Amino acid sequence: MITTFAAALNAGLRSALEDDPKVVLMGEDIGRLGGVFRVTDTLQKDFGDRRVIDTPLAESGIVGTAFGMALRGYRPVCEIQFDGFVYPAFDQIVSQVAKIHYRTRGKVRAPLTIRIPFGGGIGSVEHHSESPEAYFAHTAGLRVVSPSNPADAYTMIRQAVALDDPVIFFEPKRRYWDKAEFDPAAAPELPLDRARVCVRGTDVTVVAYGGTVATALAAAKLGAEEGISLEVVDLRSLAPLDVDTIAESVDRTGRLVVVHEAQISGGLGAEIAARITERCFYRLEAPVRRVAGFDIPYPPAKLEKHHLPDPDRILAAVDRTLAA
């Protein structure tokens, strides 16, 4: 079927609700409105307001009560309306949800999925375009994933909901309207924690995730026109990192550029650069380079084109890597 990213998520959530009566969705405006991005459209109509639950406007409350429901055997899927609204829930996520399995020596599980539309590129106002993934990838006990396309969105949300560990599920909001064809009946191609090589190439490996995968693919296309062969790896899982897949790619290409929207310092790119330096030091032909957001709060919409990695910035980094 051909569908948008948002509709693929909707289909994945529908399937999760059908498969397991203990799955409930919780969040602000997810019921009659179907969510501000319509990801939960029609689900409350079809599953009722006790499975698709509109909550008061309080993020700590959403995650904290979802955690309480999980303690009674439910599998809540929380929607945080926008990335910049997750911070009030931060304590519940990192102090409670992430730690309960460790704290109880495995006696209590918190199979929560916390969906967060993230990243920029939609011309929105403050607090609506942030990339907080490093905070969560830095937190033991959480898994952090981000699909980059409709097919993965459908598969990965179902895998996340079925997993017995808490998952932070970052949805690149500027890709909600991207369309693609996929077969919902097909078996998952990859486990939730595996990266994927999207495009094979020989000169430079480009690692991206979420919203920047499409940007990296565009760079690969432009690069090919200039005679540069890029291999694009879609990370998919930010925690744990699939270092093996990246390292195998770098073993082939000898060069690595990491792309993300989040600010560069202390970001996922730094972790990947360190891991690959440990693993592939003798294969690397050049220092690992990062193309990322600047170390600034997310800028006003009219400036975001400068802040967000674009194909030209990626290719400039590729050029410097090749020149090294």
Partner 1 sequence: MPGTTEYPVQLIQPDGRRVHNPEYQALVADIGPEELRRLYEDLVVTRRIDTEAVALARQGQLGLWAPCQGQEAAQVGSARALRPDDYVFGSYRESAVAYCRGVDPSAMTAMWRGVSHSSGDPAAVNMANPAIVVGAQGLHATGYAYAAQLDGAEIATVAYFGDGATSQGDIAEALTFASSWGAPVVFFCQNNHWAISEPVHLQSATPIAHRAVGYGIPAIRVDGNDVLAVLAVTRQAAARARGGGGPSFVEAITYRMGPHTTADDPTRYRTAAETEEWARRDPILRMRLLLEREGLLDADVQRRVDERADEVAHRMRTETITMADPEPSELFDHVYATPHRVLDEQRRDYTAYLADDPACALATAAPAAREEGVRS
Distances (CA, A) of 267 to 183, 263, 273: 34, 6, 10
Is the Cβ–Cβ distance between 216 and 314 less than 8 Å?
yes
Angle between helices 243-253 and 268-280 (to 10 degrees): 60
Candidates 3, 10, 44, 96: give the one binding partner 1 (CB under 8 A): 96
Candidates 66, 207, 219, 235: give the one binding partner 1 (CB under 8 A): 66
Pairing of strands 237-239, 143-145: antiparallel
Q: Smallest gap, in angstroms, from Cβ of residue 269 to partner 1? A: 17
Candidates 3, 10, 40, 92: give the one binding partner 1 (CB under 8 A): 92
Nearest residue (CB) to partner 1, 20 versus 244: 244
- The residues in 141-160 that bind partner 1, with binding defined as CB under 8 A, are 141, 143
254: left (phi over 0), alpha (psi -120 to 50) or beta: left
Catalytic residue among 101, 128, 260, 307, which?
128
Q: How far apart are CA 166 and CA 289, in angstroms?
A: 31
Structure tokens at 248: 């195998």
DSSP codes, 146-174: ---SHHHHHHHHHHHHHSSS-EEEEEEGG
Site string for partner 1, 194-233 (x = CB under 8 A): ----------------------------------------
> For this structure, is 306 an active site residue?
no
Part in contact with partner 1 (CB under 8 A); list of ranges 35-43, 102-110, 149-157, 262-270: 102-110
**68 lines the binding site for partner 1 (CB under 8 A):** yes
Footprint of partner 1 (CB under 8 A): 24, 50, 55-56, 58, 60-61, 63-74, 88, 91-92, 95-96, 99-109, 111, 140-141, 143, 163-165, 193, 239-244, 247, 251, 278-283
